[in-house]
Chain A
Amino acid sequence: MTKSWWKLLGCALLLYSVIGGFLMPVPVLPILNESIRNLYFHVPMWFAMISLYFVSVVYSLKYLGSGKIEDDLLAVESVNTGVIFCFFGLISGSLWANITWGDPWPNDPKLNGSAIATLMYLAYLVLRNAIDEEQKRAKISAVYNVFAFPVMIVLIYILPKLTDSLHPGSGGNAAFSALPMDNMLRLVFYPAVLGWVLTAVWIMTLRYRIRLLENRHNTIS
């Protein structure tokens, strides 16, 4: 239990973000109305996804250095868990877009970029399944992963910032520091992000540990 304090911390932060996210006062804005509270739930999904993909790249690089199959397994499980959070982000985003922008999928650079990034990571998972030999699979997918990560960052973070996007913080669109009561939003938003990242990493480690057991089981029998 002493080593799992961060799991408890993640849960506590999420509980706080649920309570605070519903009850704390938010800026009163037209069109958004109460849906501004989605900020506490939709955006942390993407933070959790990017963190998991980052962990995956770190372990892919580690695998290329060490050649240990455990590093490769952690990299895959990170992407597996990251993809789940990606889909949560896409679904919650398109529901939110439907009521505020009037279209579940407006042609926004951030949306299209994230769609391409999603396909890139799905391709990573498909690529892995296509190769039978363990060492070869680990090496090729590690190299693919190292290239995919920077492209993902460019697609969902940098390119939308350079062009006009409906998302705040892009083009001429200001981020939430321009809003009234922005500190009130931060008070819930940052703990929510940290809570989701910690919980996502926790779920990833659960999957990794199951994968390790499966791997050991397969190599023995």
Chain B
Amino acid sequence: MKTVTSFFLLFLSVLQCFAQDVEMATGLRSSGKIYVVVLIVSIIFIGLAFYLFSIDRRLKKIEREN
């Protein structure tokens, strides 16, 4: 995992060398804080997915009763 992340960071820094004149959010990423955003969006999405599954299950129950 560590090698993967370091490789990824190396890749990003190489990318940064190519992109001197175009400003991307590389700074944000190298400081690691973009992961917080990814985590939050993922948690929200997983929650919504579980919510959809629970609606599905309740609906199935009602369908069986009818």
Contact = CB atoms under 8 A, between A and B. Distances in A.
Given A11-B49, A18-B45, A23 B22 contact: no
A209 B62 CA distance: 10
Interface residues of A, number: 23
A6 interface: no
A28 B25 CA distance: 10
A18 B42 contact: yes
A184 to B, nearest CB: 11
Interface of chain B: mostly helix, strand, loop or mixed: helix
A132 to B, nearest CB: 26
Interface residues of B, number: 28
Interface of B: 11-12, 15, 18-19, 21-25, 29, 34-35, 37-38, 41-42, 45-46, 49, 52-53, 55-56, 59, 62-63, 66
Given A206-B56, A210-B59, A213-B62, A19 B15 contact: no
B52 A202 contact: yes
B44 to A, nearest CB: 9
A193 to B, nearest CB: 16
A203 interface: yes
Given A18-B45, A28-B15, A28-B22, A203 B38 contact: no
